[in-house]
A and B are shown apart, each in its own frame.
Chain A
Amino acid sequence: MRLRRTRLYIPGNNPHYVESAGLYGADAVILDLEDSVPLDQKFDARILVKYSLQNVDMGRSEKWVRINGVDTPFWEKDLKEVLPFCDVINLPKVESAADLNRVDDVMGAIEEEHGIEKRPVVPIIETIRGLMRAEEIAAHPRVVALAWGGEDLTADLGIPRGKALILDHVRGHIVLAAKAHGKQALDTVYSNVSDMEGLFEYARRARYMGFDGIGVIHPNQVEVVHRAFRPTDEEIEEARRIVQAAEEAEREGKAVVSLNGRMIDRPVVERARKILRYAEVE
């Protein structure tokens, strides 16, 4: 599975920002057609995103587009314009598998028409209803990762975002729903772009909460988050030993992996492998 430690949001209707989107080494770049684009610019924006996807060198970054939600009149046109040229569709305000099915149908028709591979979807859960249906959303075959957003959620609950105590519970819920279906879990953004230490702590915390990455709103944040998602030297050392033991067991045809007299379960080996992947990417 692709690393998605960082996903960098770029306002889709600003050529100046789009041009340099690929320079920052983010695992993914999200050209946004939703919140950062005013209603009277939606038409221009989706065409600009179409051209940008084909002309801007995004380096090693995965190309996402955040289209408008199914509760708007824009999402179908967004898909028709950009789908053939992007890697992932980021879908906001998803509340159910039914929402995803609607989008799946339109995507399927476009993919068939163009003879292209199926693109995955990363839904953003932003409401209580969506949160309660997180599992069915995560289970959908199109979905590769679950993301979430706190603004609407806390508004729904009637509490100020900055003081909301419930958000770690929300995070946990998202992680568990995603992992129950073998999908990635992606945390939301850290909005203070001048506080790099706070960002590092936040990203570390996200990692230990079980997330595979966080959203990023400024290029300066990318390197800090990558550092935070890098396993510690101790974790890497232990992971190496575990993977070595597993490979040895496999070579010797043993059914059970053991290390220092302890039995190592399969999930532990998988975790060790994942740790090494995160360590080796640099």
Chain B
Amino acid sequence: MMAEAGKREKGDVYVRIEDAEGREIVVSSKLMILYGDAIRRTVEEMTSHLNNVRVVVEDFGALDFVIRARLEAALRKYGGEGE
């Protein structure tokens, strides 16, 4: 199972959630130094209920609520919600 949300565009974030062994979170951003920790915290918080997943987040300077919106979209698709 794999679900994606968001766009690789300035101000947005691309999110992918896929089946994996264990729990892996991969965050990349041009703002790693300034907001890497904050982004990671948001991702951890919203995916803490998941196991055996890889969550990939490619950030392009998105505000926190945008990251949350895209994570929710990906999570709901991953959980089987039809588009």
Name A residues whose Cβ lies closer than 8 Å to a Cβ of B: 13-16, 19, 40-44, 47-48, 50-52, 54-56
Contact = CB atoms under 8 A, between A and B. Distances in A.
A44 B6 contact: yes
Interface string B49-67: 0000000000000110110
A44 B70 contact: yes
B10 to A, nearest CB: 6
Contacts of B9: 14, 16
Contacts of A55: 63, 65
A15 B5 CA distance: 13
28 contacts: A13-B7, A14-B11, A15-B11, A15-B12, A15-B66, A16-B9, A16-B10, A16-B11, A16-B12, A19-B63, A41-B7, A42-B83, A43-B77, A43-B83, A44-B6, A44-B69, A44-B70, A47-B73, A48-B66, A48-B69, A48-B70, A51-B65, A51-B66, A51-B68, A52-B69, A54-B65, A55-B63, A55-B65
A149 to B, nearest CB: 26
B18 interface: no
Nearest to A40: B83
Contacts of A43: 5, 73, 77, 83
Contacts of A54: 65
B35 to A, nearest CB: 15
A244 B16 CA distance: 65
B71 to A, nearest CB: 10
Contact of A15 (B63, B72, B76): B63
6 closest Cβ pairs, A-B complex:
A16-B11, A55-B65, A51-B69, A43-B83, A48-B69, A15-B66
Contacts of B83: 40, 42-43
Contact of A47 (B11, B62, B72): B72
A47 B69 contact: yes
Interface of B: 5-7, 9-12, 62-63, 65-66, 68-70, 72-73, 76-77, 83
Contact of B62 (A15, A42, A44, A56): A15
Contact of A52 (B10, B65, B73): B65
A50 B83 CA distance: 16
A163 B68 CA distance: 46
Nearest to B11: A16
Nearest to A45: B73
A44 B9 CA distance: 14
A13 B70 CA distance: 10
Q: Which of B6, B65, B77 has the most CB of A within 10 A?
A: B65
Contacts of B65: 51-52, 54-56
Contacts of A47: 5, 69-70, 72-73, 76
Contacts of A15: 11-12, 62-63, 66
Q: Which of B7, B66, B68, B72 has the most CB of A within 10 A?
A: B66
